Amino acid sequence: MKNFWPIFALLCIITGVVFLIIITRLFQGDTIIYTDPENIESPIISKKDPVIGSAQPTIVIVEYSDFACTSCSQTSEALSAMLDQYPEDIALVWKDFPNSSLHNEAIPAAIAARCAQKQNAFWPYHDLLMANQRQLGTDLYKEIATELDLSMWRFNSCLRREKTNSLVSTSYQEGLALEVTASPTLYINGERFAGLMRESDLRRILSNLEIK
């Protein structure tokens, strides 16, 4: 019994040393790499983001936008004109950045468009939303879905349960992490432009890149 306590004490010391080694290694920077999603410097393009245009673009435009803002609609028209003129050169990536404090329908409209995306109809749905901003609401969302011949059972279920809210939220949070403060905000080949962009503005910017 006299020899028990020294052995027990030695085992405790060994256990403590092993525990400290494990903890130290766990928190070494070269063992675990921590990625802070808030510390990003440019948009993150994922497969969940709606994309239209060239599959091998020389110009990538990432658009943080809101279906309920007038400037966004005007910018959308200008972007559409550029896509029509340079279909092999430009890819446009959509990011939701709804301003619910100014527009009650900003988030519902974004959710509806993402529900259309689940049926591969985001961009035609997007265009019709932008063209009918003054009528935003559930009736319009269903009307557009009907016009595009979407499965209404799938669309209504998605809309009612807000199944795409996480897509909208993820996009919005990314915008906040980039300190986007206004819709629309564009990133054109990584360069940031905030506010209304007219067709003439886009032509001027693109002329300084690889599109002439």
Residue 146 lies in a domain: yes
Is the pLDDT confidence value at 30 over 90? Answer: no
153 has pLDDT over 70: yes
What per-residue confidence (pLDDT) applies to 39? 73
pLDDT at 21 over 80: no
Same domain, 94 and 178: yes
pLDDT per position as a tens digit, 55-108:
999 999 999 999 999 999 999 999 999 999 999 999 999 999 999 999 999 999
Cα 92 → chain centroid: 12
Q: How far apart are CA 160 and CA 73, in angstroms?
A: 26
Query: Per the domain annotation, does 39 fall within a domain?
Result: no
Does any domain span residue 40? Answer: no
For position 28, what pLDDT does the model report?
40
Number of folded domains in the chain?
2
> What's the confidence (pLDDT) of residue 31?
32
CA 194, CA 176: separation in Å to the nearest integer?
14
Distance CA(104)–CA(198), nearest Å, equals 26
Is residue 107 located within the same domain as residue 181? yes
If asked whether residues 28 and 96 sit together in one domain, one would say: no
Q: How far apart are CA 138 and CA 105, in angstroms?
A: 9
Query: Does residue 42 fall inside a structural domain?
Result: no
Residues 2 and 61 in one domain: no
Distance CA 44, CA 62 (A): 9
What value does the mean pLDDT take over residues 104-118?
A: 98
Q: Could you tell me the CATH number of the domain that includes residue 165? A: 3.40.30.10
In a domain, 185, yes or no: yes
Closest Cα partner for 93 from 42, 162, 36, 169?
42
Domain assignment present for residue 114? The answer is yes
Domain limits for position 67: 51-207
> Nearest 5°: phi and psi at 61?
-110, 120
Q: Is the pLDDT of residue 7 over 90?
A: no
- For the entire predicted model, the pTM comes to 0.81
Residue 78 lies inside a defined structural domain of this protein: yes
Report how far residue 126's alpha carbon sits from residue 116's, in angstroms, rounded to the nearest whole number. 9
pLDDT tens for 132-146 read 999 999 999 999 999
pLDDT for residue 35? 37
Instruction: Give the Cα separation of 52 and 170 in Å (integer).
Output: 20
Is residue 63 assigned to a domain? Answer: yes
* 10 and 70 together in one domain: no
